[in-house]
Amino acid sequence: MNQEQTPPNTSQEQENSRLVVKLVGIVLGMFGFGFAMVPLYDVFCDLTGINGKTNETAAVYSAPVIDTEREVTIEFITKTMRGMPWAFEANTQRIKVHPGELHTVEFYVRNPASRDIIGQAIPSVSPGTAALYLNKTECFCFNNQPLLSGEEALMPMQFYIDPQLPKDIEQFTVQYTLYDVTEAAQGVAEAQAAMGSK
Amino acid sequence: MSTATDTLEHDAHHDDHHHGPAKGIKRWLFTTNHKDIGTLYLWFSFIMFLTGGAMAMVIRAELFQPGLQIVDPNFFNQMTTVHGLIMVFGAVMPAFTGLANWLIPMMIGAPDMALPRMNNWSFWILPFAFAILISSLFLPGGGPAFGWTFYAPLSTTYSTDSTALFVFSVHIMGISSIMGAINVVVTIWNMRAPGMTWMKMPMFVWTWLITAFLLIAVMPVLAGVVTMVLTDKYFGTSFFDAAGGGDPVMFQHIFWFFGHPEVYIMILPAFGIISHIIPTFARKPLFGYASMVYATASIALLSFIVWAHHMFTTGMPVAAEMFFMFATMLISVPTGVKVFNWVATMWRGSMTFEVPMLFAIAFVVLFTIGGLSGLMLAITPVDFQYHDTYFVVAHFHYVLVSGAVFSIMAAAYYWLPKWTGVMFDTTLAKWHFWCSLISVNLLFFPMHFVGLAGMPRRIPDYALQFADFNQWISVGGFAFGLSQLIFLALLIKACRHKGEPVSDQVWDGAEGLEWEIPSPAPYHTFDTPPVVK
């Protein structure tokens, strides 16, 4: 109705369309921002260490000054995720170390299942802020671990505590959670074999 | 605010241009009229309110006694989940959108919403969204049972296939809300009557403008996070799966980045409504209009930097907990400004206590109780005790039921005579108010006590020492549910135009453009904009 008012209406409609385009732009931008929060979260956590994730590649032990004045207690706990049949235990459950010293602890795994399984251990440190100061020079968690049916193994982890560790942290816990990644790992292996790269 | 208009005269001239509404079902299916769409939204939200309420009745029946009596735990979990989803996305949000549709054009002197066809779409996809969500309850294994917050991995690793339906229904709800919000922003931005400057806009329009921006900012984030849940569950991604390098705690960060602004989406329009009703029945202009506008805007801005107060127990560093604690407490400053202004508006006013005013005063008192328990929850060390207990349930029901829902009821009573042209049945209305007021407190107040004593939320069974309080709570719940049937009867009566005809002004202290058009509001209003002085 009111077609006689077309001239003002069209300019109004143009203004409306311009505003709608801007608002839809915000909507799309915020949808993208939702996904951008994923890498942002990772970067933020890497920098601050607040989600308890440790280094994923080997650190180099540069023989720092060993702080013999201080003693830090580290507890190791293990867990297997649903569907993962392996027995998984920490041989050293509790250790006292001086910051800067290089130590090795071992974890025991056994595959009681009738099939071959590839496992992947994911570390988590609590309180999370300690994660930045736990430097692993060697760890079974850097790679996935294949075990044949019935096979058992000892998996080593070598680490030192950065002497910069905040004074208020006297004790922290490292938890390893073991996942069954057989399907995903075989998929990758087959793809690599197909490309002839391995 | 003093306004003048030539509407009446104008309407008389142009009556021949005015088509009435189409007849029958097509009127409602194809309507682009803001008043029709407002009515559709309001009835839809009321039906959803009763549906979600029926689910709450199942929850309260099961919790009437300790032990498992009526439903099995899995169904109980589905009820808490779907009750929450329906009340948030189906009852409160569409009710506010319905009020926005009805009122914003009439308040700013515009003939309709800016984008009427999109308006029709944004309503008509909603029934499909909720049909999908509710139908998921009938799938093998049942509907979503992971809580309305759908934390990963409950919603990814441990959920049934109804999750796919849940995700799609949330997508549709989100699209509907975003379209509605865009419509509101464009209408307010471009279609205000000449002379209606920003700082002359009625408070309801202001609060809805800010709410619409919040919706535009955070509903897409919700769409993103449900999409991640969907791909994690069905397409092998690992956003929230630690085995693939993801992090389940990140789910909570993204969800609450949406979720905290969302709770202000459900309360800011309520602030607007109350800022109309109290001045009318106190017969004084709103105290501190400008500070109300700035307080609303600051609450909206602060809502983006407090999300992690929902996650104090996830193991954040102390510095982060302190930041989120203080930022959260900061919100009580602008909120306190608002409560102060409402009380100051009533101070030495010529108050009368018509039904909308009763609901508005109940809102101010009960919302403040909810705000206070919110302040308690903001204190990090204390939250470690309160987290996931009935204290939290008490808190958010005080702000959402006796806050948002009471404000919607106040709005319905306040503007209903303008919409229908007749005064509603005041006897029934007073029964509805007093029954609701008493039962809502019986329902939610003892939850503070059982919560402080350690009763966890979302559990179908509880320790014996909570039995007495839970019986009281359930009785309050049933009474509150039944009280809403009084409201239903009253609304049906009013929509059949049974009652005393009202004047254009309706309430003698009411001010604003919507009171200068005839009662009932004609199908088309303000074809020529009024002049606002």
Q: Which residues in chain A are contacts of B304 at CB distance < 8 A?
A: none
Question: How would you classify the pairing of strands A145-147 and A94-97?
Answer: unpaired
Nearest residue to B439 (alpha-carbon basis) of B405, B388, B490: B405
Nearest CA to CA, how far is B103 from chain A (Å)? 20
Nearest to B185 among A23, A126, A127 (CB): A23
The per-residue pLDDT for A6 is 46
Is residue A179 within 8 angstroms of chain B, CB to CB?
yes
| Mutant choice from B32, B112, B115, B171 vs A, greatest count of A C-beta within 10 A | B115
A-B Cβ pairs (cutoff 8 Å, strict): 95
Q: Which residues of B touch A (CB under 8 A)?
A: 17-19, 114-115, 157, 178, 182, 185-186, 189-191, 216-225, 228, 239, 242-244, 247, 249-250, 253-254, 257-258, 315-317, 320, 527
User: What residue of A is the nearest CA neighbor of B215?
Assistant: A27
Is residue A181 within 8 angstroms of chain B, CB to CB?
yes
The per-residue pLDDT for B4 is 43
Of the listed ranges A58-67, A148-157, A183-192, B354-363, the one predicted with least confidence: A183-192
List the catalytic residue out of B122, B275, B296, B519: B275
List the catalytic residue out of B206, B264, B307, B342: B264
Interface pTM, i.e. ipTM: 0.87
The model's pLDDT over A112-147, given as tens digits with 9 standing for 90+, comes to 989 899 988 888 888 888 888 888 888 888 888 888
Distance CA B143, CA B53 (A): 17
List the catalytic residue out of B39, B156, B163, B176: B176
3-state SS of B281-316 is HHCCCCCCHHHHHHHHHHHHHHHHHCHHHHCHHHCC
pLDDT at A103 over 80: yes
SS3 B401: helix
Answer whether B422's CB lies under 8 Å from B499's CB: yes
Of the listed ranges A26-30, A148-152, B186-190, the one predicted with least confidence: A148-152
Banded pLDDT at B512 (limits 50, 70, 90):
very high
3-state SS of B159-195 is CCCHHHHHHHHHHHHHHHHHHHHHHHHHHHHHCCCCC
Banded pLDDT at A3 (limits 50, 70, 90):
very low
- The A residues from 119 to 158 touching B (CB cutoff 8 Å) are 120, 122, 124, 126-129
The model's pLDDT over B160-209, given as tens digits with 9 standing for 90+, comes to 999 999 999 999 999 999 999 999 999 999 999 999 999 999 999 999 99
The model's pLDDT over B229-272, given as tens digits with 9 standing for 90+, comes to 999 999 989 899 887 778 899 999 999 999 999 999 999 999 99
Percent of chain B with pLDDT over 90: 89
Banded pLDDT at B93 (limits 50, 70, 90):
very high
The C-alpha angle with vertex A177 and arms to A172 and A182, in degrees rounded to 5, equals: 155
Q: What is the mean pLDDT of chain A?
A: 84
Banded pLDDT at B282 (limits 50, 70, 90):
very high
User: Is the CB of A51 less than 8 angstroms away from the CB of B247?
Assistant: yes
Angle, nearest 10°, between helix axes B93-108 and B203-234? 150
Mean pLDDT of A84-96: 91
**Is omega for the bond preceding B73 within 30 degrees of 0, making it cis?**
no
User: What residue of B is the nearest CA neighbor of A14?
Assistant: B190
Q: Which residues in chain A are contacts of B174 at CB distance < 8 A?
A: none
The per-residue pLDDT for A9 is 67
Q: How far apart are the first and last CA of chain B?
A: 8
Partners of B501 in the β-ladder: B422
pLDDT at A1 over 50: no
User: Is the CB of A37 less than 8 angstroms away from the CB of B157?
Assistant: no
Answer whether B206's CB lies under 8 Å from B272's CB: yes
Alpha carbon separation from B496 to B97, B419, B423, B515 (Å, rounded)? 23, 12, 12, 21
The per-residue pLDDT for B345 is 97
Banded pLDDT at B502 (limits 50, 70, 90):
very high
Distance CA B118, CA B180 (A): 8
Nearest to A129 among B182, B221, B317 (CB): B317
The per-residue pLDDT for A196 is 57
The model's pLDDT over B349-391, given as tens digits with 9 standing for 90+, comes to 999 999 999 999 999 999 999 999 999 999 999 999 999 999 9
User: Is the CB of B224 less than 8 angstroms away from the CB of A177?
Assistant: no
| Mutant choice from B156, B230, B250 vs A, greatest count of A C-beta within 10 A | B250
Q: Which residues in chain B are contacts of A177 at CB distance < 8 A?
A: 242
Instruction: Tell the residue number behind the tokens 């009340």, with chain if given.
Output: B87
Q: What is the mean pLDDT of chain B?
A: 93
pLDDT at B11 over 50: no
Distance CA B527, CA B141 (A): 54
Mean pLDDT of B468-488: 97
What number of other Cβ atoms are within 10 A of residue B402's Cβ?
26
